């Protein structure tokens, strides 16, 4: 009888122990499942540690290059010398050179340097004409500055002096103009800019009202220089 009771007690203890072991195993598996299900969430959290940018904001513009800046400027402020005529002959009074072959259309700008006694014609930045000039004397000097051509007259006669001024391009209201003249050493004008007749004709055909004539006294231009 006692042996049966002891056996039942032992069996009960074993059963309880077995159940406890099973329960511990179940709890361990449950925690493992819980841990494995939490892992992806941890990865997502790590991946989102930085800001999520769906629509990147527009980048600030980079610093503009000189070319970009130049393209935004008015044409008159970005006109530069792209070619200087090659002149091998003596540059003397009465001499001129004209070569516009292959030069593209573009803005026409005339420069006059009184100190160098010369005139240059630029189209689209390319020098297409150059000549030795006559200009004003001490009583009536040629003014310096920037002058738009305000009048054109092929067979003009001065209403002040009564002298012919063929292919006249007026610069000022008081009679200063570019026109054909007998350009000789030592000869001056009453403030006008005299050029050889054929040069005057070629310039007259190219120039338009409003084109700029820039008169300086010692301003030299080289390749790449801006004509302002």
Q: What is the pLDDT of residues 71-129, one digit of tens each?
A: 454 555 457 888 999 999 999 999 999 999 999 999 999 999 999 999 999 999 999 99
Quick one: 158 and 112 in the same domain? yes
Q: What is the pLDDT of residues 152-210, one digit of tens each?
A: 999 988 777 778 889 999 999 988 999 999 998 888 788 899 999 999 999 999 999 99
Helix H, strand E, coil C: the string for 25-53 is HHHHHHHHHHHHHHHHHHHHHHHCCCCCC
What's the domain range around 43? 1-47
Quick one: 116 and 187 in the same domain? yes
Quick one: 33 and 143 in the same domain? no
Quick one: 34 and 78 in the same domain? no
Quick one: 123 and 32 in the same domain? no
Number of domains in the chain: 2
Does residue 147 form part of some domain?
A: yes
Q: What share of the chain is helix, strand, coil (3-state, %, to 5)?
A: 30, 25, 45
122: CATH: 2.40.440.10
User: In angstroms, rounded to a whole number, what is the distance separating the alpha carbons of residues 79 and 107?
Assistant: 9
Whole-model pTM: value is 0.64
Q: Please tell me what DSSP assigns to residue 128.
A: E
Quick one: 95 and 5 in the same domain? no
Does residue 225 form part of some domain?
A: no
Quick one: 76 and 43 in the same domain? no
Quick one: 43 and 76 in the same domain? no
């Amino acid at each position: 009888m006692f042996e049966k009771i002891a056996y039942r007690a032992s069996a009960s203890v074993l059963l309880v122990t077995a159940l406890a072991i099973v329960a511990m195993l179940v709890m361990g598996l449950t925690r493992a499942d819980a841990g494995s299900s939490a892992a992806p969430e941890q990865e997502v959290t790590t991946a989102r540690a930085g800001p999520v940018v769906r629509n990147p904001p527009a980048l600030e513009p980079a610093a503009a290059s000189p070319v970009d800046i130049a393209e935004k400027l008015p044409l008159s402020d970005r006109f530069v010398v792209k070619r200087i005529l090659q002149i091998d002959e003596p540059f003397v009074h009465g001499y001129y050179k004209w070569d516009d072959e292959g030069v593209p259309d573009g803005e026409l700008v005339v420069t006059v340097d009184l100190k160098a006694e010369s005139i240059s014609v630029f189209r689209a930045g390319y020098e297409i004409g150059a000549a030795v000039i006559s200009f004003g004397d001490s009583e009536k000097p040629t003014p310096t500055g920037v002058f738009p051509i305000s009048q054109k007259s092929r067979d003009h006669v001065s209403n002040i002096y009564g002298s012919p001024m063929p292919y006249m391009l007026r610069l000022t209201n008081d009679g200063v103009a570019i026109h054909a003249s007998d350009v000789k050493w030592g000869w001056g004008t009453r403030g006008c800019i005299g050029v050889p007749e054929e040069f005057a004709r070629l310039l007259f055909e190219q120039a338009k009202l409003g084109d700029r004539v820039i008169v300086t006294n010692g301003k030299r231009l080289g390749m790449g220089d801006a004509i302002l």
